[in-house]
């Protein structure tokens, strides 16, 4: 009997899993891919669209460029997963039956109960989000003057917040726009929890770009044109972007699986509390001993290489492989510049300049080549 294998999501986890499953299954199972968009977005480059919307054509790839002709694709929103009936529930279409399902739905923005933040902020979780931020800062800058510049505030100084601030600074410079940029972080330093050397390198680039950094004071409330802090003076804003946290998708809210905040708990082999349900990427909290795997693109890419093989092994009733995350370092862009830290193959802990910039380009190009082709990666190079 042919097994039905279903993959949920078109992000790094979903696209990577589809790519691997197509080679592993070789047509021996019916493979179905379900996502709410008909393209894969290179999400860690989506901040480039804030500066220049034309970049989107170089960081989005149609499903047809990734899926084999034999892979069935359904464009619909996943609203639930019934593990007893073994069906995926959809917003518009009929339920989809599965024998095995791989959850790669990603996450949504967490607001931590801060009053008004959901209503008055923009986020960066999709292509549409990046385009909305571009339009918002463009509109705000057109209404501003040198004497009364537009105030753009980015809440959360993790990787996404830092890269967003850098792109808005590039937009400001390219358009000679009257914009003040503020990066706000509740903890003591930007890029929290990381090595002080890379924190300082990023701070230097941001300050050189004219970004005003506010740390060690959490936001307590957001209103239409001002945010309040625990201790400091209120900060007015024309545009507020929130990048401060993640939580699981609502679709996983009532799923009968072990989970934390709608992110599914898995073993190191990606199997959940139901042996027919696997999960990777930001949707999953993957057991790695003392700490789970980080919710990063790098972890999703690595996991996707193994989850496809493990689903194939499960179908064949063979032992599953255990996965161990290997941190290969971090590369973060600040506009046209970048900082690299703790890259495994290099003896230098932290560096910038052209080597860091090209390394970031190469990481994205390698991913694009893996799921499409090196020719597509080459065409995207200038936008990365």
Closest by Cα among 154, 57, 37 to 106: 37
In whole angstroms, what is the distance from residue 165 CA to residue 207 CA?
Answer: 11
Rounded Cα–Cα distance for residues 370 and 40 (Å): 13
Residues 6+ apart with CB under 8 A from 162: 183, 190, 191, 202, 206, 332, 334
What's the full length of the chain, in residues?
A: 384
pLDDT of residue 2: 85
- Cα separation of 4 and 300, whole Å? 23
Q: In the predicted model, what is the mean pLDDT of residues 284-298? A: 93
The chain-wide mean pLDDT, for the chain, equals 96
pLDDT tens-digit readout, 257-267: 999 988 999 99
Helix residue ranges, H only, the chain:
12-25, 48-51, 56-59, 117-120, 127-142, 159-175, 196-208, 297-315, 353-371, 374-380
Cα 309 to Cα 270: distance, rounded to the nearest angstrom: 11
Q: What are the chain's domains? A: 4-109+246-315 (3.50.50.60), 117-242 (3.50.50.60), 330-383 (no CATH)
Q: Residue 39 corresponds to which tokens in the numbers above?
A: 């393209």
The closest of 240, 153, 150, 207 to 337, measured between CA atoms, is 207
* Confidence (pLDDT) at 192: 96
pLDDT at 347 over 80: no
Contact between residue 116 and residue 46 where contact means Cβ atoms under 8 Å apart: no
92-99: average pLDDT = 98
Kindly tell me if the per-residue pLDDT of 245 is higher than 90: no
Q: What pLDDT, on the 0 to 100 scale, is given for residue 261? A: 87
Look at residue 80 and tell me whether its pLDDT is greater than 90. yes
Per-residue pLDDT at 225 exceeds 70: yes
- For residue 212, the Cα-to-chain-centroid distance in whole angstroms is 25
User: Average pLDDT, stretch 172-180?
Assistant: 98
Q: Tens digits of per-residue pLDDT, 179-196?
A: 999 999 999 999 999 999
Sheet holding 96-97, edge to edge: 78-82, 87-90, 96-97
Token representation of residue 158? 């993790």
Q: Per-residue pLDDT tens for 201-215? A: 999 999 999 999 999
pLDDT at residue 269 is higher than 90: yes
Q: Report pLDDT digits (tens) over 312-327.
A: 999 999 999 999 999 9
CB distance 333 to 357 below 8 Å: yes
pLDDT at 330 over 80: yes
Q: What is the mean pLDDT of residues 160-174?
A: 98
Per-residue model confidence (pLDDT) at position 27: 83
pLDDT at 346 over 80: no
d(CA 91, CA 89): 7
For residues 33 and 68, give the distance between their C-alpha atoms in angstroms, rounded to a whole number: 11
pLDDT of residue 348: 78
- Three-class DSSP category at 214: strand
| pLDDT for the residue 344 | 72
Q: Which residues of 79-116 are buried (b: 16+ CB within 10 A; e: fewer)?
A: ebbebeebbbbbeeeeebebbbbbbbbbbbbbbeebeb
How confident is the model at residue 1, as a pLDDT?
65
By percentage, how much of the chain surpasses pLDDT 70?
99
Task: Tell me what pLDDT residue 97 has.
Answer: 98
The pLDDT of residue 26 is above 80? yes
Q: Report how many helices (DSSP H) and strands (DSSP E) the chain contains, helices first.
A: 10, 25
Q: What percent of the chain has pLDDT over 90?
A: 95
Query: How far apart, in whole angstroms, are the C-alpha atoms of residue 293 and residue 288?
Result: 6
């Amino acid at each position: 009997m042919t097994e039905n294998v279903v993959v949920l999501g078109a992000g790094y986890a979903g696209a990577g899993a589809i790519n691997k499953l197509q080679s592993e299954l070789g047509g021996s199972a019916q493979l179905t891919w379900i996502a709410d968009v008909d393209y894969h977005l290179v999400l860690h480059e989506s901040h480039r669209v804030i500066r220049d919307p034309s970049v989107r054509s170089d960081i989005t790839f149609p499903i047809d460029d990734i899926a084999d002709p034999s892979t069935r694709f359904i464009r619909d929103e996943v609203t639930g997963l019934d593990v007893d009936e073994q069906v995926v529930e959809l917003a518009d279409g009929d339920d989809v039956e599965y024998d095995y399902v791989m959850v790669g739905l990603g996450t949504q923005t967490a607001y931590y109960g801060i009053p008004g933040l959901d209503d008055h902020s923009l986020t960066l979780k999709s292509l549409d989000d990046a385009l909305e931020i571009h339009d918002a800062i463009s509109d705000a800058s057109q209404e501003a003057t040198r004497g009364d510049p537009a105030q753009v505030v980015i809440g959360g100084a993790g990787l996404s917040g830092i890269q967003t601030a850098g792109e808005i600074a590039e937009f400001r410079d390219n358009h000679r726009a009257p914009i003040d940029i503020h990066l706000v972080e509740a903890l003591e330093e930007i890029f929290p929890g990381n090595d002080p050397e890379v924190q300082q390198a990023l701070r230097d680039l941001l300050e050189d770009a004219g970004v005003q950094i506010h740390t060690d004071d959490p936001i307590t409330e957001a209103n239409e044109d001002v945010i309040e802090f625990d201790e400091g003076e209120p900060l007015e804003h024309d545009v507020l972007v929130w990048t401060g946290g993640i939580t699981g998708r609502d679709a996983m809210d009532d799923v009968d699986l072990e989970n934390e905040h709608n992110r599914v708990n898995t073993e190191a082999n990606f199997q959940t509390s139901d042996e027919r349900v696997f999960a990777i990427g930001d949707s999953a909290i993957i057991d790695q001993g003392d700490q789970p795997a980080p919710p990063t693109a790098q972890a999703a890419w690595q996991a996707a290489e193994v989850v496809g093989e493990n689903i194939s092994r499960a179908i064949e009733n063979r032992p599953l492989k255990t996965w161990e995350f290997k941190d290969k370092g971090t590369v973060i862009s600040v506009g046209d510049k970048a900082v690299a830290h703790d890259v495994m193959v290099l003896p230098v802990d932290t560096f910038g300049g052209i080597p860091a910039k090209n390394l970031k380009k190469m990481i994205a190009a390698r991913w694009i080549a893996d799921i499409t082709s090196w020719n597509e990666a080459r065409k995207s190079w200038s936008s990365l």
